[in-house]
Amino acid sequence: MTEQRSTSVSTKASRQLWGRPELYTSYGQNLRMLNTRPKQVAVVAMVLLAATYVPFGLPDEWLHLFAMGLAAAIGAIGLNIVTGYAGQVSLGHAFFLAIGAYTASALSGEPGRRTIGFGITFLPLWLLAAGVVAGVAGVIVAPLATRLRGLYLAIVTLGLVFLGLHIFKEWKALTGGPGVGRQGPVPEMFGQRLDRNGDLLTGDQKMYLLTLVLLVIFAVFARNLVRSKVGRAFAAVRDRDIAADVIGVSVTRYKVLAFGISSFYAGCAGALLYAVLGRVEPDSFNLLLSIQFVAMVLIGGAGTISGSIMGALFITMLPRLTQELPTVLPFISSDVTAPLGAANLAIIFYGLMIILFLIFEPRGLFGIWIRIRNYFKAWPFSY
Amino acid sequence: MTQIAEPGTKTTTTIVTRVRDRARTMPDAVAMREKDFGIWQEVPWSDYWDKIELVGHALLALGVRPGDRVAIQSENRREWLYTDLATVAVRAMTVGLYPTNPASEVAYLLAHSGSKVLLAEDQEQVDKVLAVLDQLPELERIVYLEPRGIRRRYDNPKLLFWEDLLAMGAEHREAHPRAVEETMSQARADDIMTLVYTSGTTGPPKGAMLSVANVEFSVETLIESGGFTSPPPSTDDIMLSYLPLCHVAERIFTTWFNSSAGVQVNFAESIATVQPNLREIQPTILFGVPRIWEKVLAGVNIKIASASPAKRALARFWLKVADGIGDTLVRTGGKHTPGTRLRYALGYLFLYRALRDRIGMRKVRYAASGAAPIAPDVLKFFMGIGVPMHEVYGMTENSAIATANRPGRVKLGTVGEPHPGVDLRIDEETGEILTRHAGVFAGYWRDEEATAKAVDEQGWLHTGDVGVWVDDTHVRITDRMKDIIITAGGKNVAPSEIENALKVSPYIKEAVVIGDKRPYLTALIGVELETVGEWAQRKRIPYTTYRDLSERPEVDKLVQGIVDDVNKKFATVEQIKKFRMLPKELDHEDGELTATQKVKRSALGKLFDDLVESMYAKGGGA
């Protein structure tokens, strides 16, 4: 009888009653990622806007910035998986970004030059390689997390950054050395250089569209991951690893998995980010870069995918915004070295924003959105 | 599936033949839904008919013969309908028991009806019947639906698991493929289809016998010719089934609407989840008893009171507008004027759409209140926010066919106009409402005396309700005849009107007016724990239990205010001079309420004798 029932249900899964969003007649309908009409409309509209108006309506200078923001968003999603979902605070994100960036640069670099190069410029290949190498590094580091928790883990991952910084400075054959650097990954697909102006599109337009497509893919994958069995296991480990162990979640396994996936994302993001920038410099993979990614996660909203994207765009745009400040506020110097200069101001802002968000809106930009949404969802009541 | 009787063979139409025909014409359309593991599982008409046939075969295999009784004690669910219709298919009678009936009442009902088979939902119901099994010699089988706690623990040979019953049915169908079809084709219009036991506010319940012809008349009058809804219900309509199915009202709205008009039935998970289920299902046709409507109204008021200031102000403003719309609608009989349409359209944007969505009535095209008297203010509220509300009247003994407010011709405070084809008159002497039509029941089961009292020689059914004509078209019911209070001063007072006026307040759940042969009226009042509890929290009044809360002086003052307000609406003799708080929530198990949550006045008077007397004691406190 049970068999008969399940077949009769599955054949009618497509039939849904109009105007009754909460009436679930099949699990498929219940599990849909965009489960309500407004969500479907809004997401499709946003993606359409990002794919049409932005690349063709905004100046290239902005597109370049957006492309960086979108690439950073992939990295932020990665950090959010390990920190926001699995609860393992990591300050070592810059290290994994660096591994991705150098793997891709070395693979796509021209052979026979001052720095290592293998001449494999096909983008999907070096992007995948960057992710895999970083992911493997993440898996190697992960056992630390099974021994340490919270602050101790943060300190140890901080050590990774300095370790990496030293290696990259010294390994001149790979990185070109401090102050010099090397060319970033070469984005090429089917004989087309994506970072150079073409007949139809400019380089910035192409890079923007590339990062947009990749971000959508990575974001959808991450969203599906975190609402699957794996995602629930991550959340269980985050909320209390002992309790998770008791209910049958293999803590070691999921911590390793979280680090692996997170580092894979970081590797891909690093490769893309420096493909957009065009040049890799070993000094840039410092603590500040890690802090920037932590800021993206915290300001966007820990434990949310869309929050990571918001946070990444916000943090990437911030230096550009502070650059505009001296024209509005005359007491701020546009001199880079001045104590209250635009460059330092951006750094002060990160700190301030992290502190303010942690105190007033721990759920980040996403939390603000949720608050607004719930206000109207509960209409005309308050709960 | 087995062969089906040749169309064209002349058989009596029953609700089962209707389901069978629908299974043939629209096999894949949804007949009903029930929530299982978070998903509303859909049952198409073909499955529905298949199950009915299977259970019918099983009943035949169990030895159920035409005229035997099959009892059902379960919450509303698919199996209730399968068994009910299968029983009709094999020409036996369905006896519905309330899931809340305690063991003693189960014993009475099963023994009185002489039921042969009982469908008991779960361990709770099985335990009740097992406790009184020695008083039930005619009971042969107890079929249970939920095996938890029963299977492999109880070894009573009479117990039978539902799946095993279905297996028996399948076996029987294999051996006698046309047995159910043949029994169905022998059905006659005067077959008794069901025994509906009245709730029994005064004495033991009486089993009203409804025949196939009664039910067919009811289906024809109320459903097919649109006696309630306009236009008549169709397969696009959606219902939520949540009131006990053994009551004739829910039987009409669930089983009969479903089988005759193809309305999709959705079973609520339980009475406690009616609110969330309403929101999910958003029914198009909704029937409720006054208690349900009062509770929804109280919920809205409480939630608005605790909303943020901006939302509160907005909601209050638009509710006031709704009040005005309601007033106009009351004057026009439910027909909109251009003015109300405009106001409603604006309010729809700001409040009514969202509010109706929240209470699960956004798609309701027809709402009805019945089974007990209701305060007009409650109905007006729903009319104002755009839920077309209609008070209807009927009782088990006339297959629920008497009067109804028709869409567009609503008169608030009345129960509406008699249905076409219904003779209705009001006795000149006693004021009692009498009805006569093809739906008048076949009599009380094994109770000739009561039957003779209810139906006179000319076929008039004595309803026991006192009423008057309003504008010669609509009927207004004053009260139950035996409830009318005659005070020591000789004045006739209808207590239910005063009680319902009190129950409009979200804080009052029960109100019982007392005063028969007394110098003045008094009342026993029970507060609504949920709303008064929240009120007390907002006022920072600490309390522990229901009793503690009721006895707080602040609560006493709150209720006094409500009583004073209500008193203003009534003449001096009809005013409540004193009241006392009930120290407990009234309950079916304790014998204070009937299964339909109606107060047993006589029982209450005895139980709270000291409270009542204290109100009439000389120099007793205010």
Query: DSSP assignment of A13-67, as one string?
Result: TT---TT-TT---SHHHHH-SS-SHHHHHHHHHHHHHHHHHHHHHS-HHHHHHHH
| Residue A78 in tokens | 């990665």
ipTM of this complex: 0.81
Partner A contacted by B423 (CB < 8 A)? no
Partner B contacted by A337 (CB < 8 A)? no
List phi, psi (to 5°) of B63. 90, 20
Closest alpha carbon within chain B to A27: B39
| Residue A95 in tokens | 């290290």
Nearest beta carbon to residue B39 from set A1, A30, A383: A30
Q: Are residues B165 and B16 in the same domain?
A: yes
Indicate the residue type of B299.
G
Count other Cβ atoms within 10 Å, centred on residue A226: 21
Please indicate whether, in this complex, the C-beta atoms of B38 and A30 are within 8 angstroms of each other. yes
* 3-state secondary structure (DSSP) of residue B25: helix
End position of a domain, from candidates B188, B214, B249: B188
Task: Tell me the percentage of chain A whose pLDDT exceeds 70.
Answer: 94
Q: What is the C-alpha to C-alpha distance for residues B253 and B593, in angstroms, rounded to an integer?
A: 24
Please indicate whether, in this complex, the C-beta atoms of B42 and A23 are within 8 angstroms of each other. no
E strands present in B489-589: 492-493, 508-514, 521-527, 576-581
Domain membership flag for residue B444: no
Q: Is the Cα torsion angle A12, A17, A18, A22 positive or negative in sign? A: negative
Q: What is the C-alpha to C-alpha distance for residues A49 and B154, in angstroms, rounded to an integer?
A: 66
Nearest beta carbon to residue A1 from set B40, B43, B166: B166
Count other Cβ atoms within 10 Å, centred on residue B599: 19
Domain count for chain B:
3
Min distance A220 CA to chain B CA atoms (Å): 25
Partner A contacted by B39 (CB < 8 A)? yes
Q: Are residues B473 and B492 in the same domain?
A: no
- A170 pLDDT above the threshold of 70: yes
Strand order across the beta sheet in which B192-197 lies: B159-161, B141-144, B117-120, B69-73, B93-97, B192-197, B207-211, B443-444
Min distance A369 CA to chain B CA atoms (Å): 18
Instruction: Provide mean pLDDT across the span A207-211.
Output: 96
What would the pLDDT profile of B507-557 be if each residue is shown by its tens digit? Answer: 999 999 999 889 999 999 999 998 999 899 989 999 999 999 999 999 999
Prediction pTM value: 0.87
| Residue B362 in tokens | 């956004």
Mutate to test the interface with A, among B40, B47, B164, B362 (most CBs of A within 10 A): B40
* 3-state secondary structure (DSSP) of residue A83: helix
Q: Are residues B360 and B410 in the same domain?
A: yes
What would the pLDDT profile of A185-194 be if each residue is shown by its tens digit? Answer: 999 988 888 9
- A322 pLDDT above the threshold of 90: no
Residues of B in contact with A4 (CB under 8 A): 47
Partner A contacted by B299 (CB < 8 A)? no
Taking only residues 139 to 168 of chain B, the set having a beta carbon closer than 8 angstroms to any beta carbon of chain A reads 163, 166
Q: Are residues B42 and B153 in the same domain?
A: yes
Q: Is A243 exposed, middle or buried (0-12, 13-18, 19+ CB in 10 A)?
A: exposed
Residue A334: per-residue pLDDT: 67
Which of B172, B162, B170, B192 minimizes the C-alpha distance to B67? B192
Please indicate whether, in this complex, the C-beta atoms of B47 and A8 are within 8 angstroms of each other. yes
A123-141 vs A251-277: helix crossing angle, rounded to 10: 140
Q: How do B461-470 and B474-480 pair as beta strands?
A: antiparallel
- B619 pLDDT above the threshold of 80: no
- A333 pLDDT above the threshold of 80: no
Q: Is residue A265 within a helix (H) or strand (E), and if so which, with residue range?
A: helix A251-277
What would the pLDDT profile of B223-273 be if each residue is shown by its tens digit? Answer: 988 888 888 999 999 999 999 999 999 999 999 999 999 999 999 998 889
Q: Is B542 exposed, middle or buried (0-12, 13-18, 19+ CB in 10 A)?
A: exposed
Nearest beta carbon to residue A382 from set B38, B47, B306: B306
Helix (H), strand (E), coil (C) string for B486-510: ECCCCCEECHHHHHHHHHCCCCEEE
Residues in chain B: 622
Mean pLDDT for chain B overall: 92
Residue B10: per-residue pLDDT: 62
Per-residue pLDDT band at A336 (split at 50, 70, 90): low
Please indicate whether, in this complex, the C-beta atoms of B306 and A380 are within 8 angstroms of each other. no
List phi, psi (to 5°) of A201. -125, 155
Helix (H), strand (E), coil (C) string for A178-216: CCCCEECCCCEECCEECCCCCCCCCHHHHHHHHHHHHHH
Q: Is the Cα torsion angle B21, B24, B25, B28 positive or negative in sign? A: positive
| Residue B220 in tokens | 């024809």
Nearest beta carbon to residue A19 from set B28, B39, B282: B282
Please indicate whether, in this complex, the C-beta atoms of A9 and B304 are within 8 angstroms of each other. no
Task: State the virtual CA torsion across B159, B161, B162, B163 in degrees, nearest 10.
Answer: -150
Q: What is the C-alpha to C-alpha distance for residues B458 and B455, in angstroms, rounded to an integer?
A: 8
Name the residue with higher pLDDT: B351 or B620.
B351
Nearest beta carbon to residue B40 from set A5, A23, A381: A23
Q: Is B187 exposed, middle or buried (0-12, 13-18, 19+ CB in 10 A)?
A: buried
Q: Are residues B470 and B514 in the same domain?
A: no
- B5 pLDDT above the threshold of 80: no
Q: Are residues B470 and B489 in the same domain?
A: no
Nearest beta carbon to residue A379 from set B163, B280, B354: B354
CATH code of the region A59-377? 1.10.3470
Min distance A39 CA to chain B CA atoms (Å): 18
Taking only residues 17 to 56 of chain A, the set having a beta carbon closer than 8 angstroms to any beta carbon of chain B reads 17, 19-20, 22-27, 30
Among A71-80, A347-356, B115-124, B511-520, the range scoring the smallest mean pLDDT is: A347-356
Task: State the virtual CA torsion across B456, B462, B468, B470 in degrees, nearest 10.
Answer: -90
Domain membership flag for residue B129: yes
- Provide the CATH number for the domain around residue B570: 3.30.300.30
If phi > 0 it is left, if psi is from -120 to 50 it is alpha, else beta; for residue B360 that is left
Name the residue with higher pLDDT: A341 or B76.
B76
What would the pLDDT profile of A65-80 be if each residue is shown by its tens digit? Answer: 999 999 999 999 999 9
Q: Are residues B282 and B149 in the same domain?
A: no
E strands present in chain A: 182-183, 188-189, 192-193, 279-280
Q: Are residues B525 and B469 in the same domain?
A: no
CA distances from B569 to B43, B322, B330, B497 (A): 51, 22, 19, 11
Q: What is the C-alpha to C-alpha distance for residues B86 and B52, in angstroms, rounded to an integer?
A: 5
Partner A contacted by B202 (CB < 8 A)? no
Nearest beta carbon to residue B281 from set A1, A23, A383: A23
User: Which are the contacts of B246, defined by CB distance < 8 A and separation ≥ 6?
Assistant: B72, B95, B96, B97, B98, B196, B197, B595
Q: What is the C-alpha to C-alpha distance for residues A84 and A260, in angstroms, rounded to an integer?
A: 15
Q: What is the C-alpha to C-alpha distance for residues B271 and B76, in angstroms, rounded to an integer?
A: 10
Hey, which of A142-151, A355-364, B134-143 has the most confident mean pLDDT? B134-143
What would the pLDDT profile of A247-296 be if each residue is shown by its tens digit? Answer: 999 999 999 999 999 999 999 999 999 999 999 999 999 999 999 999 99
Please indicate whether, in this complex, the C-beta atoms of B44 and A8 are within 8 angstroms of each other. yes
Residues of B in contact with A17 (CB under 8 A): 238
Partner A contacted by B315 (CB < 8 A)? yes
DSSP state of A110: P
Please indicate whether, in this complex, the C-beta atoms of B304 and A25 are within 8 angstroms of each other. no
Instruction: Provide mean pLDDT across the span B78-105.
Output: 95
Q: What is the C-alpha to C-alpha distance for residues B269 and B37, in angstroms, rounded to an integer?
A: 11
Min distance A26 CA to chain B CA atoms (Å): 6
Count other Cβ atoms within 10 Å, centred on residue A301: 27
Q: Domain segments of chain A: what residues? A: 59-377
Mean pLDDT for chain A overall: 89
Among B298-307, B345-354, B600-609, the range scoring the smallest mean pLDDT is: B600-609
What would the pLDDT profile of B559-613 be if each residue is shown by its tens digit? Answer: 999 999 999 999 999 999 999 999 999 988 888 888 877 888 888 888 899 999 9
- Tally helices (H) and strands (E) across chain B: 23, 26
Name the residue with higher pLDDT: A12 or A240.
A240
Q: Is the Cα torsion angle B265, B268, B274, B275 positive or negative in sign? A: negative
Q: Are residues B473 and B508 in the same domain?
A: no
Domain membership flag for residue B290: yes
Q: Are residues B361 and B307 in the same domain?
A: yes
Q: Are residues B532 and B472 in the same domain?
A: no
Query: Helix-strand-coil percent breakdown of chain A, rounded to 5?
Result: 70, 5, 25
Nearest beta carbon to residue A380 from set B280, B282, B304: B304
CA distances from B18 to A154, B80, B339 (A): 71, 17, 44
Count residue pairs from A and B with Cβ separation < 8 A. Answer: 67
Please indicate whether, in this complex, the C-beta atoms of B311 and A381 are within 8 angstroms of each other. yes
- A7 pLDDT above the threshold of 70: no
Residues of A in contact with B42 (CB under 8 A): 8-9, 12, 25
Work out the end-to-end distance of chain B between its first and last CA atoms, rounded to an integer number of angstroms: 72
Render the burial of A191-203: b for 16+ CB within 10 Å, e for the rest.
eeebbeeeeeebb
The β-bridge partners of B523 are: B513, B579
- Provide the CATH number for the domain around residue B155: 3.40.50.12780
Answer for the pair A54, A45: CB distance below 8 angstroms, yes or no.
no
Please indicate whether, in this complex, the C-beta atoms of A19 and B362 are within 8 angstroms of each other. yes
Residues of A in contact with B28 (CB under 8 A): 12
- A32 pLDDT above the threshold of 90: no
Indicate the residue type of B282.
Q
Give the domain extent around B506: 484-616
Residues of B in contact with A26 (CB under 8 A): 39
Name the residue with higher pLDDT: A377 or B171.
B171
Residues of A in contact with B281 (CB under 8 A): 20, 23
Please indicate whether, in this complex, the C-beta atoms of B39 and A26 are within 8 angstroms of each other. yes
- B358 pLDDT above the threshold of 90: yes
Q: What is the C-alpha to C-alpha distance for residues A140 and A164, in angstroms, rounded to an integer?
A: 14
Q: Is residue A241 within a helix (H) or strand (E), and if so which, with residue range?
A: helix A241-246
End position of a domain, from candidates B152, B168, B188: B188
Q: Are residues B78 and B175 in the same domain?
A: yes
